[in-house]
Amino acid sequence: MPQPSPARVVVLHGYRASPDAHWFGWLADDLRADGVDVAIPALPAPQAPEPGAWLHVARAAIGVPDERTVVVGHSLGCVTALHALSRTPGDWRLGGLVLASGFDATPSAVPEVAPFTARAADHDRVVAATAARHVVGSDDDAVVEPALTRALAERLSATFDLVPGGGHLLGREGFTTLPVVRDRVRAALGLAPR
């Protein structure tokens, strides 16, 4: 009998962030304790991101996903994840997609990320191929309007988890842990809750 593929999580950070920012390292440590392979690629030039370069790195990190793979995105990492998955060739399945403070239309506070939203990702393909879809947002995000995050959840037919007063879910706002994301990832991988 073939062995199941190992559980994998790919975390895509956002604009002006890095793999060790916010709650990413905490999430990786939590999952690695259960033998999950976690990758948090450094997306190039995060202070001046370019879609082609980000998609190249994101697609390489995600590879060909399967039902034991979960992709996590934060902010600009969310739309990057959607474009990377949209462009993954072949017939693939994804165990879970967990997007925090995400958007797929340009937020008014950061018009410089407009090149990432100039062309729509293939939402229908991502929805059809992804078993569990979750979006996490707050009601007072000053970087990405909360309405954009809710609209993303609707386009993905995803559950929506509200973090009241959570801002943009940044480390400097107190979010060095984000249990709701951890719980959604663990559930998608079939791991026991914490």
Boundaries of domain holding 117:
8-188
pLDDT band at 4 (very low <50, low <70, confident <90, very high): confident
**Would 1 be classed as within a structural domain?**
no
What is the structure's pLDDT at 1? 60
In the chain, the largest separation of any two C-alpha atoms, in whole Å, equals: 53
- In the chain, the number of structural domains is 1
Tell me the whole-structure pTM to 2 decimals.
0.97
**Would 110 be classed as within a structural domain?**
yes
**Would 193 be classed as within a structural domain?**
no
Asked if 104 and 43 count as a contact pair (C-beta separation under 8 A), the reply is: no
pLDDT band at 5 (very low <50, low <70, confident <90, very high): confident
Radius of gyration of the chain (CA): 15
**Would 52 be classed as within a structural domain?**
yes
**Would 2 be classed as within a structural domain?**
no
**Would 194 be classed as within a structural domain?**
no
For the sheet containing 159-163, what is the strand order?
37-39, 8-12, 69-74, 94-100, 130-138, 159-163
What is the structure's pLDDT at 2? 62
Instruction: Name, in order, each residue with C-beta under 8 angstroms of 158's C-beta and a sequence gap of 6 or more.
Output: 97, 99, 133, 134, 135, 152
pLDDT band at 3 (very low <50, low <70, confident <90, very high): low
Instruction: Name, in order, each residue with C-beta under 8 angstroms of 2's C-beta and a sequence gap of 6 or more.
Output: none
- Per-residue pLDDT of 6-40, as tens digits, reads 899 999 999 999 999 999 999 999 999 999 999 99
- Per-residue pLDDT of 136-161, as tens digits, reads 999 999 999 999 999 999 999 999 99
**Would 116 be classed as within a structural domain?**
yes
- Per-residue pLDDT of 33-91, as tens digits, reads 999 999 999 999 999 999 999 999 999 999 999 999 999 999 999 999 999 999 999 99
Q: Residue 13 maps to which CATH number?
A: 3.40.50.1820
**Would 23 be classed as within a structural domain?**
yes
Which residues form the catalytic set? 75, 141, 168
